[in-house]
A and B are shown apart, each in its own frame.
Chain A
Amino acid sequence: MDFDFSDDQKFLKTEARKFLDARCGVAVVRGVLDDGAKAYDAELWKAVAGQGWLGVNIPEAHGGLGLGGVELCAIAEELGRALAPIPFASTVYFVAEALMLAGSQAQKAKWLPKIAAGEVIGCFATVERPGVLTEAQVQAKVEGGKLTGVKLPVTDGDIADLAVVLAKQAGRGSLYLVELAGPGVAREVLTTLDPTRSAARLVFTGATAEPLGDPGEGMSLAEAILDRAAVMLAFEQVGGADRALEMAKEYAMQRYAFGRPIGSYQAIKHKLADIYIKNELARSNAYYGAWALGAGGSQLPLAAAAARVAACEAFWFAAKENLQTHGGMGFTWDVDCHLYYRRAQQLGLVAGGAKAWKERLVSQLERRNAA
């Protein structure tokens, strides 16, 4: 039993926190929030690439550090805590992982080094309409290597160089790599709840599409990618939830009402204790997810679903109750509570919402019990 980050991983995590404290203060996050033309913080993105974080889980042969999934989770927790306004999740958890899972040697050799170096931003384009992602909703199609269709919302679709797209060929869902600078691609920025993470509508009219993985396996591949991303996103959520709890605690100690700190009232204490409880449950489930990710066994789908369900609940609860603890000030633009409130929704929905993941969890549970 060694159910925690190792000393080396803790060191990496501590260094990541120091780095982000210095380079990703709230002013950087607000810089993206307040500037409608700014999709992400390019300077931070470069700096993060310089740290090698984009390639933490990419093999050395492909230009990465080859450290592993758990190391990536350690960094994810710090990125989530700092609300980093960069296309890290899209590029690393979705596109790099998709390439490593399903890419040909040539595809890996072409793209992974560029991703690790920060030269390529990725996006994951699957959804087309409101509601859970199912194969039935996919209208986008590929004929003769050309992709036609509309995808939205695509997180980081407005700034990405490379998209992994779910589309149908001969009626069967398949994954494709699409270079977004090429012809037949139009993009439109969407207004979203969390402007610190941008999203777009991608319109494909005969864009060149290269198969990623076996044709017809698109949906199961997408689910495998989502399982991996769910674990890493869970760490971002745990990081964000922890910071929201700290904010609530700091405010509750400083703010006086009726002659004493509001943190001395049980109504506030119990609220903050409940945040702590949910955060620790989410952390423990995320750890199990990280282990399953590394172990590469059949446990991953259930572990990922549990990590995601617990993390969605924890960050949402921490974000909304942190805001509530701040009272009227929490409802202002100037106080940071709404940044976490926004990000909790963004992270809670970007890989599919908790409701669908709960169903996946119980299905996996039934499958395991039947086995």
Chain B
Amino acid sequence: MDFNDTSEEAAYRKEVRAWLKANAPRTKGARDGGLEDPVSMDDSRAWQRKKAEAGYACITWPKAWGGGGGAAWQSVIFGQEEAAFQTPANPFAIGLGMCVPTVMTVGNEADKQRFVRPAVLGEEIWCQLFSEPSGGSDAAAARTRAVKDGDDWVINGQKVWTSGAHFSDFGLLLARTDPDVPKHKGLTMFWIDMKASGVEVRPIHQMSGASNFNEVYFTDLRVKDSQRVGAVGEGWRVALVTLMNERLSVGGGGGGSNYRRLLALAGDIQTLTGLGVKDAALREKIAEWYVQAEGLKYTTFRTMTALSRGQTPGPESSIGKVVSATLMQDMANTALELEDQFGIISDPANAPLAGGFQTALMNAPGLRIAGGTDEILRNIIAERVLGLPQDVRLDKDVAFKDIPTGR
């Protein structure tokens, strides 16, 4: 049980830190979703290229594909160290974390040669086109149709909650090719050119005011059969490869609101019984949240230890988001309660701590839903980790077109 780096890890960390110090750009505020700004996108691309050229982009990928040819623990250490710098926003995460690895695993040789390296270098950005208005958690219920027409496929339908579709070059699209078989069997995966005619991207105006996601409409979008990723009817199996890669990427902590900021706030605010930081009920809550936040941090250290030892990490990393999202929401709500009437002010100029807890409150609902809702994540823990039986599925052995639909 050693919390400290091994000598090998310490040496790598030192090397990474020195490289970051010499090379990381001093970009202010770019992490606040400023990707609409072309300057910040240029910054992001430049930073990605710099990392790729030094072998720090896609550290675990083979050098032949533009990666670093390194180990998973190195990737974790680089991520930890990079987080200490104010680096540009990362619009490449979905492509490099999910879409491109799918192409590398399932795609044909020509696609691999064509797509992997430009993605690593930050020249091309990918988005993932799975979720649809009729099926958020139920991704296999996709209705977007792809119909064979000679050597082409013609695609019609709509995707939703697509992160970064507005600045993506390519998308990985899950489409229904056969509605006459059960839902998991009638899907096929394609890559598409996001700039092609027949693709329309419309930003979603989120409750937080920001627009990080999009709706994507397909109207008679024509794609070649060579754009198919995997066999016809194998789309769900390919999608699972994508989602597996999502789970393999080791996540960080919660972010947003944290107990340090809450302690700072409580040290500067009066309650009826004195200074907020002396309030026993608040202190109990802070202790509970501390234990959750630190517990998550140490859980990622357990994952990293398994990677360091060359083992497959246990399922414990699956608890991350389900804990951190609610933690963020509850902490923000308590902070606002502490601010009392001031809590309604979100204007950074007037709100305590520049309105950080107000922002967290408005972002938290999205965090509890995106990438698997709290409920779906609990199902996944129960079924895949604990081995409990699946719920009764009314749609399993029915032709997709005969599955009942509500709204």
* Chain A residues whose C-beta falls within 8 Å of the C-beta of B1 in the assembled complex: 2-6, 9, 70, 287, 290-291, 294
Chain A residue, CB-CB nearest to B319 = A277
Asked if A1 is at the interface (CB within 8 A of a chain B CB), the reply is: yes
CB distance from A259 to the nearest CB of B (A): 9
Whether the pair A3, B322 counts as a contact (CB closer than 8 A) is no
Interface of chain B: mostly helix, strand, loop or mixed: helix
Which residues in window 316-353 of A have CB below 8 A to B? none
A366-B263 contact given A2-B308, A249-B387, CB 8 Å threshold: yes
Whether the pair A3, B3 counts as a contact (CB closer than 8 A) is yes
* Chain A residues whose C-beta falls within 8 Å of the C-beta of B385 in the assembled complex: 273, 276
Whether the pair B291, A281 counts as a contact (CB closer than 8 A) is yes
Whether the pair B284, A276 counts as a contact (CB closer than 8 A) is no
Whether the pair B288, A273 counts as a contact (CB closer than 8 A) is no
Chain B residue, CB-CB nearest to A9 = B1
CA distance A266 to B380 in the complex (A): 11
Which residues in window 110-145 of A have CB below 8 A to B? none
Whether the pair B301, A1 counts as a contact (CB closer than 8 A) is yes
Whether the pair B3, A362 counts as a contact (CB closer than 8 A) is no
Whether the pair A272, B308 counts as a contact (CB closer than 8 A) is no
Q: Interface size (B, Cβ < 8 Å)?
A: 53
* Chain B residues whose C-beta falls within 8 Å of the C-beta of A361 in the assembled complex: 287, 290-291
Which residues in window 298-325 of A have CB below 8 A to B? 305-306, 309-310, 313
Asked if A170 is at the interface (CB within 8 A of a chain B CB), the reply is: no
* Chain A residues whose C-beta falls within 8 Å of the C-beta of B4 in the assembled complex: 1
Interface residues on A, range: 35 or more
Which of A3, A5, A313, A361 has the most chain B CB within a 10 Å cutoff?
A: A3
Whether the pair A253, B3 counts as a contact (CB closer than 8 A) is no
* Chain B residues whose C-beta falls within 8 Å of the C-beta of A6 in the assembled complex: 1
Q: Mask for B300-325, Cβ within 8 A of A = 1, else 0?
A: 01101110110000001001001100
Asked if A264 is at the interface (CB within 8 A of a chain B CB), the reply is: yes
* Chain B residues whose C-beta falls within 8 Å of the C-beta of A253 in the assembled complex: 387-389
Asked if A274 is at the interface (CB within 8 A of a chain B CB), the reply is: yes
CB distance from A257 to the nearest CB of B (A): 13
CA distance A329 to B370 in the complex (A): 39
CA distance A357 to B277 in the complex (A): 17
* Chain A residues whose C-beta falls within 8 Å of the C-beta of B284 in the assembled complex: 355, 358-359
A3-B280 contact given A269-B388, A277-B381, A313-B288, CB 8 Å threshold: no
CB distance from A299 to the nearest CB of B (A): 9
* Chain B residues whose C-beta falls within 8 Å of the C-beta of A249 in the assembled complex: 386-388
Chain A residue, CB-CB nearest to B380 = A273
Whether the pair A261, B301 counts as a contact (CB closer than 8 A) is no
CB distance from B388 to the nearest CB of A (A): 4
CA distance A295 to B2 in the complex (A): 9
CA distance A107 to B259 in the complex (A): 44
Whether the pair A284, B295 counts as a contact (CB closer than 8 A) is yes
Whether the pair A3, B291 counts as a contact (CB closer than 8 A) is no
* Chain A residues whose C-beta falls within 8 Å of the C-beta of B291 in the assembled complex: 281, 285, 306, 309-310, 313, 361
* Chain B residues whose C-beta falls within 8 Å of the C-beta of A252 in the assembled complex: 388
Whether the pair B387, A2 counts as a contact (CB closer than 8 A) is no
Which of A9, A284, A291 has the most chain B CB within a 10 Å cutoff?
A: A284
A1-B383 contact given A6-B1, A282-B295, A291-B3, CB 8 Å threshold: no
A270-B378 contact given A5-B1, A306-B291, A365-B286, CB 8 Å threshold: yes
* Chain A residues whose C-beta falls within 8 Å of the C-beta of B316 in the assembled complex: 280, 283-284
CA distance A365 to B5 in the complex (A): 24
Q: Mask for B55-89, Cβ within 8 A of A = 1, else 0?
A: 00000000000000000010000000000000000
Whether the pair B298, A284 counts as a contact (CB closer than 8 A) is yes
Chain A residue, CB-CB nearest to B307 = A1
Asked if A263 is at the interface (CB within 8 A of a chain B CB), the reply is: yes
Which residues in window 239-260 of A have CB below 8 A to B? 245, 249, 252-253, 260
Whether the pair B287, A1 counts as a contact (CB closer than 8 A) is no
Asked if A93 is at the interface (CB within 8 A of a chain B CB), the reply is: no
CA distance A192 to B4 in the complex (A): 43
Whether the pair A281, B290 counts as a contact (CB closer than 8 A) is no
* Chain B residues whose C-beta falls within 8 Å of the C-beta of A281 in the assembled complex: 291-292, 295-296, 299, 319, 323
Whether the pair B323, A309 counts as a contact (CB closer than 8 A) is no
* Chain B residues whose C-beta falls within 8 Å of the C-beta of A282 in the assembled complex: 295
A273-B386 contact given A358-B287, A361-B290, CB 8 Å threshold: yes
Asked if A11 is at the interface (CB within 8 A of a chain B CB), the reply is: no
CA distance A4 to B290 in the complex (A): 21
Asked if B90 is at the interface (CB within 8 A of a chain A CB), the reply is: no
Asked if B392 is at the interface (CB within 8 A of a chain A CB), the reply is: yes
Chain A residue, CB-CB nearest to B383 = A269
Which residues in window 259-309 of B have CB below 8 A to A? 259-260, 263, 277, 280, 283-284, 286-288, 290-292, 294-299, 301-302, 304-306, 308-309
CA distance A168 to B3 in the complex (A): 39
CA distance A1 to B299 in the complex (A): 12
Q: Mask for B177-206, Cβ within 8 A of A = 1, else 0?
A: 000000000000000000000000000000
Asked if B405 is at the interface (CB within 8 A of a chain A CB), the reply is: no
Whether the pair A269, B301 counts as a contact (CB closer than 8 A) is no
CB distance from A165 to the nearest CB of B (A): 30
Whether the pair A2, B305 counts as a contact (CB closer than 8 A) is yes
CA distance A186 to B309 in the complex (A): 55
* Chain B residues whose C-beta falls within 8 Å of the C-beta of A295 in the assembled complex: 3
* Chain A residues whose C-beta falls within 8 Å of the C-beta of B304 in the assembled complex: 1, 3
* Chain B residues whose C-beta falls within 8 Å of the C-beta of A310 in the assembled complex: 291, 295
Chain A residue, CB-CB nearest to B284 = A358
* Chain A residues whose C-beta falls within 8 Å of the C-beta of B288 in the assembled complex: 309, 313, 358
A280-B375 contact given A249-B388, A272-B382, CB 8 Å threshold: no
Q: Out of A1, A264, A309, which one reaches B392, CB within 8 Å?
A: A264
* Chain A residues whose C-beta falls within 8 Å of the C-beta of B280 in the assembled complex: 359
CA distance A1 to B298 in the complex (A): 11
Q: Which residues of A contact B (CB under 8 A)?
A: 1-6, 9, 70, 245, 249, 252-253, 260-261, 263-266, 268-270, 272-274, 276-277, 280-285, 287-288, 290-291, 294-295, 305-306, 309-310, 313, 355, 357-359, 361-362, 365-366, 369
Given contacts A4-B1, A253-B389, A269-B383, 15 further A-B contacts (CB under 8 A): A1-B3, A260-B392, A261-B388, A264-B391, A273-B386, A276-B381, A277-B322, A280-B319, A284-B301, A284-B316, A291-B2, A306-B294, A309-B291, A359-B280, A361-B287
Sampled A-B contacts (6; CB under 8 Å):
A1-B4, A1-B73, A273-B382, A277-B319, A283-B316, A362-B290
- Ranked 9 nearest A-B pairs via Cβ: A281-B295, A269-B382, A358-B287, A284-B298, A273-B378, A273-B381, A263-B388, A3-B301, A2-B2
